Amino acid sequence: MRKQNKIILWSVYFDLTKTRLEGRRVPKSLGIPSPRLEEVQKAVERLGLQPEVVSDAQYPSAPWQKTGLIAIPKKGSKAQTIRRVAKELLDIRAKS
């Protein structure tokens, strides 16, 4: 599902229970246990980005699970965007 000028975000990128080999893209200090797609969507919206949610998408390393994905407009590098979303997710979890 390659999209021009879009960044694809999978919830596994922020999952504290996963290893880097399993797909986590943030340090453990920025991760949260078992993030839901709705939480990632809320974090992206709070950053002012327009998320495009595909809820039935399957993460390539775990095709038996329909985790969903979020496509957002590319603004800056993917690594920086992932870190910003991770920090926002921490704020969301801290408030709930």
| Structural domains in the chain plus CATH codes | 6-95 (3.30.56.30)
**What does the H/E/C string look like for 25-82?**
CCCHHHCECCCCHHHHHHHHHHCCCCCEEECCCCCCCCCCCCCCEEEEECCCCHHHHH
Model pLDDT for residues 26-41, shown as the tens digit of each residue? 999 999 999 999 999 9
Residue of 79, 91, 77, 95 whose CA lies nearest to 27: 79
Q: Which residues contact 26 (CB under 8 A, 6 or more apart)?
A: 13, 14, 82, 83, 86
Structure tokens at 61: 């390393």
Model pLDDT for residues 49-80, shown as the tens digit of each residue? 999 999 999 998 888 989 999 999 998 999 99
pLDDT of residue 2: 64
